[in-house]
Amino acid sequence: MLNVYKLSIEKKIRIFATCLLALVFLLFFSGVRKLFLKAFLSPIKFYYSVSRYCGSKQYLAEENESLRETIGSLSLEVDRFRDLRDENKRLRALLKFEEKIQFDTVSAEVIVRNPNDWIGSFVINKGTADGVQKDSAVCSARGLLGKVVEAGKNTSSVMLITHPGFKAGAMLKESRINGIVTGAGKGRARILYLPIDAEVKEGAVVVTAGFSRLFPKGITIGEIVSVGKSKTGLYKYATIKPSADCFSQEEVLCIK
């Protein structure tokens, strides 16, 4: 019985030792395996992450560029729509003015404007072939702009009412006091030879007097912004702010 018991203890010790060695072996090689897998997979994971990041960055860059092009194209379309809308408004206003004055007219576009010309002149795309003649009055929807000083076959040069060489018969709309309008430069005109005792107020509207065939009666010239006396004291004069925008006009009417 004693030998059997001893053999049983020894057997148990061997089994325990074997299990312990197996456990140590498994633990050791499990750690090695993990380290090996970690060392092997880390570069792969890094490469995958970098590739994914670079791919995403390139995709985003391409998408941003595409969006910029789309936005640019839409902006151009919006600007074009606004230009067409504004042009339509100007042409409608010009048509109403044409119906109001009841004269034969020729519509034209401003094609040349000298940015250094602060006195006032431009070129239009209509000439004698269209019925435009020298001294034809040129108007916008808001009033008198000037007159044709040189008429070619297909183009004409226009002198604005702000040019010192411009002259036209005029009168104050309410009081009917007559005078002569001439250009004063710097975007202004001036009405001269008003009676010294005449009551001339700022804000009074000046219109064409219709003394000649060149400028039909009643076309708005502008509004008085200041009043003064001549150096001789023989007459009054008044500075006029033109009703028409002389320096940004795009479409005009020429009165035949």
**Residue 33, domain extent:** 1-102
The pTM of this model reads 0.63
Q: Could you tell me if 120 and 80 lie in one domain?
A: no
What's the rounded Cα separation, in Å, for the pair 256 and 38? 94
Asked which of 57, 76, 102 is the last residue of a domain, the reply is: 102
Q: pLDDT 10s digit of each residue in the chain, 256 long?
A: 444 444 466 666 666 666 655 555 555 555 555 555 555 556 656 655 655 656 566 766 777 777 777 776 667 666 665 666 666 666 566 666 666 666 788 889 999 887 666 567 899 999 999 999 999 999 888 889 999 999 999 999 999 999 999 999 999 999 999 999 999 988 899 999 999 999 999 999 999 998 877 888 889 999 999 999 999 989 999 999 999 888 778 889 898 8
63 and 180 belong to one structural domain: no
Same domain as 116, residue 65: no
Do 112 and 122 form a contact (C-beta atoms < 8 A)?
yes
pLDDT for the residue 1? 44
Q: How far is CA 167 from CA 106, 109, 159, 182, 193, in A?
A: 22, 23, 10, 5, 13
Residues 198 and 122 placed together within one structural domain of the fold: yes
**What are φ and ψ of residue 73, in 5° steps?**
-65, -40
Instruction: Indicate the burial class of 191 (C-beta count within 10 angstroms; 0-12, 13-18, 19 or more).
Output: buried
Asked whether residue 146 falls in the same domain as residue 82, the answer is no
**Same-domain pairing of 209 and 116:** yes
Residue that terminates a domain, selected from 102, 127, 144: 102
Residues 123 and 160 in one domain: yes
- In angstroms, how far is the first alpha carbon of the chain from the final one? 146
Residues with Cβ within 8 Å of residue 232, at least 6 apart in sequence: none
Q: Domain containing 190 — which CATH number?
A: 2.40.10.340
Q: Are 211 and 252 in contact (CB under 8 A)?
A: no
Give, as one character, the DSSP assignment of residue 86. Answer: H
Distance between CA 253 and CA 94 in Å, rounded?
8
DSSP state of 214: S
Structure token pair of residue 100: 């109001």
247 and 157 both lie in a single domain:
yes
**149 & 120 share domain:** yes
Which among 53, 72, 102 is the end of a domain? Answer: 102
Cβ-based neighbour number of residue 27 at 10 Å: 10
Task: Enter the DSSP assignment of 204.
Answer: -
User: Are residues 35 and 111 both part of a single domain?
Assistant: no
Q: Is 123 helix (H, G, I), strand (E, B) or coil?
A: strand
Statement to judge: residues 33 and 76 lie in one domain: yes
CA distance 182 to 113: 21
- Structural domain count of the chain: 2
